[in-house]
Structure 1
């Protein structure tokens, strides 16, 4: 009996290996056939010239006519750091899921060509048509089916699902070991997939991401920096943004991230994907990917995997954008953020009255996911818990009569920026400051420090982990004193700095509670 089972397993293994080899031989034959630099011209496009009209640019936010004249399988420069070595071969296969809605046809084709040519261990490309107009996209979809034969599977949805919903529909058709999501306006670079698969080989619960290069939407110039590393984060609005890694983090080859934007490639092992309940359109927050960290995984930024991305505004906007955003943020906050959901509520006054249905935390409990406080302590400590770690919080207004408040200018980067004053606005993201229990003066993401410029002592903000650990005191008389110098924060018109204390109104400040 044992011998019989072993023979069956061996035969099954041989059959599976044969199918695997046959599939990749077909891919190799397909790639060898596509040698010319093909150009896709929509009907009558050659009569238009290359200058995109203002109306076309306002509708699609790209130079559509120039795109039509550029080869859809053009060469792009190798943007990998010089230190990248030949990646270690992987046995994992990848299903690439690309969803599109109102994407310009030649942009979409360039994405498909790029992925088909440049992806190693490619199992399939799943192209999800999110209820596009068939009279507009029927021609290009037929061309894709004909040109790419068994490489691309087109999934046409009969109603609009939105970005996340369409991606989940694509997952239903995936047969690869690993799933990757890409935007429909990207061009992948050389050897981009194997470094990501190597991360999954090491940790099946990891989510691996590429470094994005920039493709100009007007000129289609491909620009990059081999040394710059983008870090992604989010604030209490759950809005994602780009910032820099801290210096000590850059000592590591592949870097961990608190958050990732939707354009990036996301590799996840199929066995690690839980049942997902998502009800959102393209405005669904990517901050929900904090659940990767909370439930035993990690987000890894891989330097040797590079992808070009057209950065542009959305070519379509919903009239009820804010309502959709708040609905999605409410779901994320209620399920994952524990008591810190109130910080999100503070930024959206209308959110408290929103009902998102009977959300269950059972999935989180079954996976024994960590509390959100762990995420703030270990992954994203830059985000200020102003309700917990401060002795006083609010807008800091000078009492000289001009109603001017300290303002961080909405600065999100880790690099230094000079603090200014602006008319008080009751905005938590630009004018909320908190004096921490250990004497630091903080914004949502940075700390204040004092920098000497010639003869002046000037207040700046910077990442709290990369600047002098300056502390301050807020006196009963309204003075803000820099502890190490004993000087007071002083205002002259719209300029501020630290000067010798002299007890006048230019040095008196009051803390205003921000009205939520």
Structure 2
């Protein structure tokens, strides 16, 4: 971002010697120090994508960042490029979506539970459980490409009655294209025209894909609306 280079020395060797104990302390605990440092980095370098980081790691949002004005001034003085430039040109394979309308948990109106990856891998079923407000497996981005993604997996369905699976995002729409309607709050699968529905009693952790009836079981709330992306929503579609 600031004109430097990252080089890979293919024959290099790196070693790390771990001590039995550290000679210094971590005031407030290790996690507080790590979150503090990461939050400062996010505030200085990630631009609008800091919200993406905070939603995935909500613990970092609550720490005192301190004064970062000197670091921002240094960034300006060095003429550093934007984080968007970095994602587009240096790290296009990043799991951070370039353009997204929503970021956060996706809650069902009727059951108050949230979509959840349950820690599952690509090719496995999407899950659903109680909303824990801790980010992680329950953070989904609704992107400009009409993907609903968590990390590098997207919601995917190949038939009108599902199942809805987590499949590595390919960016080619098809089975991974979804439309969220802010008025009726449905999440509709573009290819099949079916709507995402909360689980039934046969498996309380398995979201369904069913013909749209616009009832409460098919109504969803996407928590976060980032206006810097959403202002151009209609034009983008």
Equivalent residues of 2:109, 2:221 under 8 A apart: no
Quote how far apart the aligned CAs of 1:407 are: 0.7
Give the 3-state SS of the residue equivalent to 2:163 in structure 1: strand
Mark the structure with the bigger radius of gyration. 1
Quote how far apart the aligned CAs of 1:344 are: 4.0
Write 1 or 2 for the structure with the bigger share of strand.
1
Equivalent residues of 2:104, 2:140 under 8 A apart: yes
Give the 3-state SS of the residue equivalent to 2:136 in structure 1: helix
Query: 1:483 and 2:190 equivalent?
Result: yes
Which residue of structure 2 lines up, in the alignment, with residue 335 of structure 1? 44
Distance 1:424 1:325 in 2: 25
Match of 1:408 among 106, 114, 117: 117
Normalising by structure 2, report the TM-score.
Answer: 0.68
Call closer, same or farther: CA 1:417–1:356 in 2, change over 3 Å: farther
Call closer, same or farther: CA 1:427–1:323 in 2, change over 3 Å: closer
Quote how far apart the aligned CAs of 1:339 are: 3.9
Match of 1:457 among 156, 159, 162: 162
**Unpaired runs of at least 5, structure 1:** 1-292
Match of 1:497 among 196, 202, 208: 208
Call closer, same or farther: CA 1:316–1:435 in 2, change over 3 Å: same
Aligned pairs, number: 209
Equivalent residues of 1:295, 1:364 under 8 A apart: no
Normalising by structure 1, report the TM-score.
Answer: 0.35
Alignment of 1:103-502 (within 5 A): 294-300=2-8, 302=10, 316=21, 318=26, 320-345=29-54, 347=58, 348-351=60-63, 353-356=64-67, 359-361=70-72, 363-365=74-76, 367-378=78-89, 379-380=91-92, 381-384=94-97, 389-390=100-101, 392-400=102-110, 402-410=111-119, 415-451=122-158, 457-465=162-170, 469=174, 470-475=176-181, 476-490=183-197, 491-492=199-200, 493-502=204-213
Quote how far apart the aligned CAs of 1:451 are: 4.0
Relative contact order higher in (CA < 8 Å, ≥ 6 apart): 2
Distance 2:68 2:79 in 1: 23
Quote how far apart the aligned CAs of 1:424 are: 1.2
**Unpaired runs of at least 5, structure 2:** 225-237
Distance 1:399 1:336 in 2: 36
RMSD, aligned α-carbons: 3.7
1:315-335 C-alpha deviation (Å, 9 max, x unpaired): 558461122112311332233
